[in-house]
Amino acid sequence: MARINTNISSLIAQQHLSRSQGELGVRLERLSTGLKINRGKDDPAGLIISERIKSNIQGVESGVKNTERASAMLSTTEAALSEVNDLLNSIRSLMVESANTGANSEAERNANQLQIDSAIESITRISNTSSFGSLKLLNGSLDYTLSGLRTSAVSIARLNSANFVGATSLSVEVDVVSSAQVGSLYYNGNTTPAGITLSSMTLEIAGPNGVQVITIASGQPLSKLVTAVNNLTALTGVEASLINSTANSGMVFQSNEYGSNSFVSVKRLGGPGPASDSFDLYKFSGDRAMSTPTPFDWASRLGSGVLISGERDVGKDVTALINGNLATGRGLGVSINSPALGLDLTLSESFATRPGAVATTFSVTGGGSIFQLGPDVNASQQSTVGIPSVAASRLGATSHNGAVQYLSSLKTGQTFSISGNVRAGDFSTSSNILNRAIDEVTELRGRLGAFERNVLNTNQRSLQSQFENLSASASSIRDADFAFETSKLTRAQILTSAGTSTLGLANQQSQQVLQLLG
């Protein structure tokens, strides 16, 4: 057929040349950008998936940076706490040296007190000045704030972590279900005559602090035995008192601390006494609401089996529910550690020994430091840590005679300074305050160290592995395979050249019609 108005061969050649040129453009674009997907039409589904993975990669990268920064912040905090620990240990050394009053002069003790004052001031200075960038670390700004805390129920509260989960505050309810108890042994004073020792006796008094032996003569009122026991309380950890405040009701030997680590043991040495004075001791067979129930009725308690014979009794830790969860008890203290809440509480004696009392409630209204560890901003990928103040006025919280004393009470002019201890003849309270301060700092260091090791370090390794896998997935979807694209480029180049030549031949074919005109 020889038609000249429509060159079908030329149209076919143009169409295929256009396709080849388009293919060539695609290959050149992919090789120049290194990407297989440059716009949505290249691979719509692949673009959606790769963009989501790209977003995940950005979040993971930020999570790794956040974790590294958090680790650096905690390392700075740890360094400051290490200095506080060293200062507390130096105070201990000076206090032990000053307690040797028989060999140290007053001038030497005063010199030691000056060093203690300086160390305490340095601890407060470290608390006020330790910072990471513009973030204060140890002045209490990273601690939790509490509201509605009743000191009549909770003497000391220390929060370690709290998760508000989108709320502005967190309510904490503490309900005592089983009372804290001291070890108690009861001696019936209802003898003939009542309220006196019927024979001389030598007693071995043992408690958590040690063992001592006392001897009491025959015919002495039980109040004298009470005084003899209490004179050794610092050495034994056992104190005594008259039941119902009268010698006729007998007396009770008690450990001076609550909890399963405290006990009382009373033994009569040299064998039993006369038949009329067997010195029988009794202890409660089960729980009791108070350490010494009053009024105390011997007949009903012995008749009902509430009291049983015994020469040794161990105290019991308080049992309490915190927000419905069973807390770990230790003496008057309870603690809980869960993803939602971690805290240590020291309950007051009146609250911890009354399981029937109304539960106490307080609120955590804010504070703490929040560490964003994951790629998504939600509670499950955040960790909260409270870092309390380590100022001398906040360290070493110890209950003494119904008041809470702190490390600052060891400074010159305070009740528990070296000079005050010398006048009182007892360094034990100062030592307890200092020991508590050391425990608080070391526990804080351990808690932060555990968080850095078991949370931050593992999170960083996990995120780095996640980053590698996500990057590999994104690369397999979006990155161009140069070997494949090069081969396709060569094909496209050949097809384009061939198409151009073919189009030229198709255009020349119409001119052959002129030969028919002669």
Sign of CA dihedral 431, 437, 440, 444: negative
Residue 80 burial (CB count, 10 A)? 18
| 137 in Cβ contact with 353 (< 8 Å) | no
Question: Residue 285 phi/psi, 5° resolution?
Answer: -80, -20
pTM of the complete model = 0.77
Question: Residue 349 phi/psi, 5° resolution?
Answer: -60, -40
Between the CA of residue 513 and those of 4, 6, 310, what are the distances in Å?
A: 8, 13, 132
Report the largest interatomic distance among the alpha carbons of the chain, rounded to a whole angstrom.
Answer: 163
For every residue of 255-297, DSSP letters joined together read: ESS-STT-EEEEEEETS---TT----EEEESS--SSSS-SS--
Q: Where are the domains of the chain?
A: 8-34+482-507, 54-139+386-479, 144-176+326-367, 184-314
**Per-residue pLDDT reduced to its tens digit, 353-402:** 888 889 999 999 888 888 888 888 777 788 888 899 999 999 988 877 77
Residues in the chain: 518
Q: How many Å apart are CA 63 and CA 171, to the nearest integer?
A: 30
Residue 259 burial (CB count, 10 A)? 23
Which segments of the chain have a pLDDT < 50?
A: 289-291
* Amino acid of residue 435: N
Q: How many Å apart are CA 362 and CA 148, to the nearest integer?
A: 5
| 448 in Cβ contact with 5 (< 8 Å) | no
* Both structure tokens of 446: 């351990």
Residue 7 burial (CB count, 10 A)? 16
Q: Hey, what's the torsion of the CAs at 430, 434, 439, 445, to 10 degrees?
A: 160
Bond preceding residue 193 cis, omega within 30 of 0: yes
As to burial, measured by CB atoms within 10 angstroms (0-12 exposed, 13-18 middle, 19+ buried), residue 511 is exposed
What is the SS3 string spanning 47-97?
Answer: HHHHHHHHHHHHHHHHHHHHHHHHHHHHHHHHHHHHHHHHHHHHHHHHHHH
Is the domain spanning 54-139+386-479 CATH 1.20.1330.10? The answer is yes
Determine how β-strand 170-178 pairs with β-strand 263-269. unpaired
Q: How many Å apart are CA 406 and CA 88, to the nearest integer?
A: 13
Q: How many Å apart are CA 262 and CA 182, to the nearest integer?
A: 7
Q: How many Å apart are CA 84 and CA 69, to the nearest integer?
A: 23
What are the residues whose beta carbons fall under 8 Å from the beta carbon of 2, sequence distance 6 or more?
512, 513, 516
Q: How many Å apart are CA 315 and CA 263, to the nearest integer?
A: 6
Q: Hey, what's the torsion of the CAs at 116, 119, 121, 127, to 10 degrees?
A: -140
Query: What pLDDT shows up at residue 299?
Result: 62
The strand ranges marked E within 414-471 are none
As to burial, measured by CB atoms within 10 angstroms (0-12 exposed, 13-18 middle, 19+ buried), residue 134 is exposed
User: Please, which residues bridge with residue 33 across strands?
Assistant: none
| 294 in Cβ contact with 351 (< 8 Å) | no
What are the residues whose beta carbons fall under 8 Å from the beta carbon of 100, sequence distance 6 or more?
none
Question: Residue 307 phi/psi, 5° resolution?
Answer: -105, 140
Q: How many Å apart are CA 17 and CA 497, to the nearest integer?
A: 9
| 392 in Cβ contact with 118 (< 8 Å) | no
Query: What pLDDT shows up at residue 290?
Result: 46
